[in-house]
């Protein structure tokens, strides 16, 4: 049964499953609320978060001292993405662009690409220097990022890897952890409860009572 948002937002989360300072790659696709609340916006597909709420996530506590942040932004959320990158403790260095071969929405340019911001903290060099910044992958469902990103990330960067706002577990044998409100999350983030925290807590309470 789907847990109602009001229920899981009220529970306390602890950091007991998280591995502080351990992830060398943070791969994140936040639910930006910027220009997404219209009838054809992302709000029709999933919950959105404000910029302040995204910035407040303690991502810096999860990342290793030498780590990389790969952050998807919508075109309208590009300045917000740079703010988030700084708030999470990363320094913007470059970006890649996913060309979707598709003419999307837009009052100005019609969107046919998405931007992946690349930030670092400490020393986080690429291990493969042949990767182009133009990513030519087919478009899938609404807001779904290409499955091809997973082997690409593994090729350029060593893990452990954390995907934030995941909607499915990466199809990989490498050390990936996931977190989001539509998956069975591997970690908890203090102050940012998701339904699987609630499920874990119910099981624990049930065990105690039984």
Ligand X SMILES: C[S@@+](CC[C@H](N)C(=O)[O-])C[C@H]1O[C@@H](n2cnc3c(N)ncnc32)[C@H](O)[C@@H]1O
Report which secondary-structure segment, H or E, holds 100. none
Q: Which stretch binds ligand X (CB under 6 A): 44-52, 83-91, 112-120, 131-139?
A: 44-52
Using CB under 6 A as the criterion, what x/- string covers residues 153-172 for binding ligand X? ------------x-x-----
- Cβ distance to ligand X smaller for residue 24 or 145: 145
71 - beta bridge partners? 28, 117
Q: Which stretch binds ligand X (CB under 6 A): 42-50, 78-86, 117-125, 198-206?
A: 42-50
Using CB under 6 A as the criterion, what x/- string covers residues 4-33 for binding ligand X? -------------------------x-x--
CA 169 vs CA 34, 93, 150: distances in Å: 26, 27, 10
> Would you call 101 exposed, middle or buried from its count of C-beta atoms within 10 A (0-12, 13-18, 19+)?
exposed
Signed CA dihedral, 62, 66, 70, 76: sign only = positive
CA angle, 156 then 157 then 159, to 5°: 150
Rule CB under 6 A: choose which of 75, 112, 143, 172 binds ligand X. Answer: 143
Rule CB under 6 A: choose which of 7, 12, 47, 65 binds ligand X. Answer: 47
Rounded to a whole number of angstroms, the minimum distance from the CB of residue 139 to ligand X is 11
CA dist 101 and 188 (Å) reads: 37
> Which stretches of the chain bind ligand X, using CB under 6 A?
29, 31, 46-47, 49, 143-145, 165, 167, 180-182, 192, 194
């Amino acid at each position: 049964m789907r847990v109602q948002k009001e229920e899981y937002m009220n529970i306390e989360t602890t950091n007991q499953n998280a591995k502080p300072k351990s992830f060398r790659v943070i791969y994140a696709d936040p639910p930006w609320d910027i220009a997404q609340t219209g009838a054809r916006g992302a709000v029709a597909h999933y919950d959105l978060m404000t910029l302040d709420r995204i910035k407040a996530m303690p991502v810096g506590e999860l990342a290793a001292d030498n780590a990389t942040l790969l952050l998807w932004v919508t075109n309208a959320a590009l300045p917000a993405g740079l703010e988030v990158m700084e708030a999470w403790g990363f320094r913007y260095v470059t970006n890649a662009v996913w060309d979707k071969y598709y003419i999307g929405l837009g009052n100005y340019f019609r969107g046919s690409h998405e931007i992946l911001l690349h930030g670092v903290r400490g020393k986080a060099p690429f291990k493969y220097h042949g990767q182009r910044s133009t990513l030519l992958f087919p478009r899938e469902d609404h807001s779904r990022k290409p499955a091809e990103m997973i082997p690409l990330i593994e090729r350029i960067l060593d893990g452990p890897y954390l995907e934030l706002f995941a909607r499915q577990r990466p199809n990989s044998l490498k050390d990936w952890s996931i977190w989001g409100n539509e998956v069975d999350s591997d970690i908890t983030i203090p102050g940012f409860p998701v339904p699987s925290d609630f499920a874990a807590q119910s099981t624990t309470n049930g065990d105690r009572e039984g």
